[in-house]
């Protein structure tokens, strides 16, 4: 298959009873991309994969009930997503990688660092939530009343474009909403035990508050922090943020590559 003049491999792998879809772009050191809630590989990372793949082997996944990946008779959890990604990498014979998770994917990337630290070289957490107080109060009220018709049209269209069965859209929406309603704080001790280098990125008009990003930055031994002008996901060209004026130069790819290229402490 080709995208932006790049060929890539895609496939399915059996992980923890789930048929998980993944793509591999480019060559080099492995960088694993983990999408956010209600999203797919192209809707979150379509704009930046060709940029990362110039220098790296990019492994992009679709998580339980999202995009082309199957579902299981269980609610979504960040811990399970982390274990699923780890199992996929085992199946692909990748014992260590860098991870970049966006939004819910950033929380999953944090859980991978907590649960599978030996697999992690470095972690980038984009707009990631670790505590309930990391978002404004309205967010939780909104999630309690979440309805499919209020989901951004661009995300719905992106799901329908790739999903083998579009009736799964409602299931994905409801499971994502339920996961957030039931979200519990990640304990301080677990966050502070993360010793791999971490780059925390949020936008200044993000859902995640700057105070939350700063708190996470202070809690991890080898963390760096970047607050980028814009809205949630704008810094990677997430599909709901793209406009005719969107430019590659606005994305954080060079910053991430600089972080990844530094020697580990």
Mean pLDDT of 184-192: 98
Q: What is the pLDDT of residue 2?
A: 40
Residue 6: predicted pLDDT: 64
Looking at every residue in the chain, the average pLDDT score rounds to 96
Res. 3 pLDDT band, cuts 50 70 90: very low
Position 217 confidence tier, pLDDT thresholds 50, 70, 90: very high
**What is residue 7's predicted lDDT score, i.e. its pLDDT?**
79
Note whether 39 and 158 are within 8 A (CB). yes
Question: What pLDDT does 1 receive?
Answer: 42
> What number of other Cβ atoms are within 10 A of residue 236's Cβ?
25
Average pLDDT of the residues in 54-65: 98
Q: Which helix H or strand E contains 149, and what residues bound it?
A: none
Report the pLDDT averaged over residues 216-243.
98
Distance CA 133, CA 163 (A): 34
- Topology (CATH) of 2-260: Rossmann fold (3.40.50)
Strand residue runs (E) in 183-258: 198-205, 223-231
Residue 205 above 80 pLDDT? yes
Crossing angle for the helix pair 168-181 and 153-162, nearest 10 degrees? 130
**What tens digit of pLDDT does each residue of 84-103 get?**
999 999 999 999 999 999 99
Kindly indicate the confidence band of residue 4, based on its pLDDT and cuts at 50, 70 and 90.
Answer: very low
- Residue range 220-225: average pLDDT? 98
Q: pTM above 0.95? A: yes
Predicted confidence at residue 180, as pLDDT, reads 97
């Amino acid at each position: 298959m080709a995208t932006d003049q790049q060929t890539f491999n895609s496939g399915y792998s059996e992980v923890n009873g789930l048929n998980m879809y993944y793509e591999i772009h480019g060559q080099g050191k492995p960088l694993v991309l983990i999408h956010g809630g209600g999203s797919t590989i192209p809707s979150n990372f379509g704009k930046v994969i060709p940029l990362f793949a110039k220098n790296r082997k990019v492994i992009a996944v679709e998580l339980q009930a999202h995009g082309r990946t199957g579902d299981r008779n269980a609610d979504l959890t960040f811990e399970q997503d982390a274990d699923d990604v780890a199992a996929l990498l085992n199946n692909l014979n990748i014992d260590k990688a860098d991870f970049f998770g966006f939004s819910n994917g950033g929380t999953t990337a944090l859980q991978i660092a907590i649960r599978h630290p030996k697999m992690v070289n470095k972690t980038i957490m984009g707009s990631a939530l670790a505590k309930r107080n990391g978002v404004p109060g309205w967010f939780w009220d909104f999630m309690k009343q979440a309805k499919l018709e209020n989901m951004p049209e661009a995300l719905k269209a992106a799901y329908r474009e790739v999903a083998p069965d579009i009736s799964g859209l409602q299931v994905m929406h409801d499971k994502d909403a339920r996961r957030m309603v039931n979200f519990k704080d990640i304990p301080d001790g677990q966050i502070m035990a993360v010793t791999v280098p971490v780059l925390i990125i949020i936008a200044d008009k993000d859902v995640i508050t700057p105070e939350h990003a700063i708190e996470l930055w202070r809690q991890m031994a080898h963390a760096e922090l970047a607050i980028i002008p814009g809205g949630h996901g704008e810094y990677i060209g997430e599909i709901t943020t793209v406009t005719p004026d969107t430019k590659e130069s606005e994305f954080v790819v060079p910053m991430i590559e600089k972080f990844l290229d530094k020697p580990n402490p």
